[in-house]
């Protein structure tokens, strides 16, 4: 029975991949219509109210980590592009850029040589990506709900979540993936150190 389930899952994944590679497959992800292009990257079509709501959220977050600049419809770069905040697109649970393929829920989508932090468990919600050694004072939603961490930086690089007194709540070394930082850590994280 397990073998049959795995075979069916593998065939379903292969079929989805074939549709993606063939292009032209359309999917609805909540409110946003997504058209898959032949290159595999989804084309996003947002309604005017969705665009306005997303822009309002981006505008609200521009000063979260110092002077930020908008680098995409749902992305803000801080600290000379070393720290990047990516917001979920309307109707989607997981943060991704418009150029990123849609991945299976519960899997990390952190670029190579980055450390990433998500506001929800299972790599859902807003995503912070960091490419350098730094300690970041977390703002909303990360200071009330840190759920997941994926560290793809060089081997041995640490990611550490700390509370307001800088006591360690969660720590891991690259390469590492944590899909739930723990119920005691989520609401108490105030700092994120990567180095």
The answer to whether the Cα torsion of 10, 12, 13, 15 is positive or negative is positive
pTM above 0.85, yes or no: no
Cβ proximity of 70 and 58 under 8 Å? yes
Q: How far from 185 is each of 16, 36, 120, 128, CA to CA, in Å?
A: 36, 37, 12, 17
Q: pLDDT tens digit string along 88-102?
A: 999 999 999 998 988
What's the average model confidence in pLDDT over 50-69? 95
Cβ proximity of 149 and 115 under 8 Å? yes
159 pLDDT band (50/70/90 cuts)? very high
Q: Is the pLDDT of residue 76 over 70?
A: yes
Q: How far from 180 is each of 18, 109, 175, 192, CA to CA, in Å?
A: 32, 15, 16, 15
More confident residue, 181 or 56: 56
Cβ proximity of 159 and 192 under 8 Å? yes
CA–CA separation, 149 and 118 (whole Å): 6
Q: Is the pLDDT of residue 3 over 70?
A: no
Supply the mean pLDDT for the chain: 80
**For residue 44, what are the β-bridge partners?**
34
Q: What are the b/e assignments for 80-90, b being 16+ CB within 10 Å? A: eeebbbbbbbb
Lowest-confidence region among 109-113, 137-141, 155-159, 175-179: 175-179
């Amino acid at each position: 029975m397990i073998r049959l389930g795995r075979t069916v899952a593998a065939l379903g994944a292969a079929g989805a991949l074939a549709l993606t590679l063939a292009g032209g497959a359309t999917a609805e992800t909540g409110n946003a219509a997504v058209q898959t292009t032949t290159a595999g990257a989804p084309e996003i079509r947002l309604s005017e109210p969705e665009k306005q709501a997303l822009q309002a959220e981006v505008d609200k977050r521009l000063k979260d980590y110092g002077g930020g600049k908008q680098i995409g419809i749902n992305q803000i770069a801080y600290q000379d592009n070393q720290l990047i905040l990516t917001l979920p697109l309307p109707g989607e649970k997981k943060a991704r850029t418009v150029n990123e393929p849609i991945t299976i829920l519960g899997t990390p989508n952190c670029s190579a040589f980055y450390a990433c932090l998500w506001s929800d468990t299972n790599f859902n919600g807003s995503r912070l990506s960091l490419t350098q050694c730094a300690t970041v004072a977390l703002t909303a939603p990360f200071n009330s709900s840190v759920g997941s961490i994926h560290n793809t930086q060089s081997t041995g690089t640490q990611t550490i979540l700390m509370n307001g007194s800088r006591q360690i709540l969660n720590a891991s070394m690259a390469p590492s993936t944590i899909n739930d930082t723990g119920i005691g850590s989520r609401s108490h994280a105030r700092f994120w150190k990567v180095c």
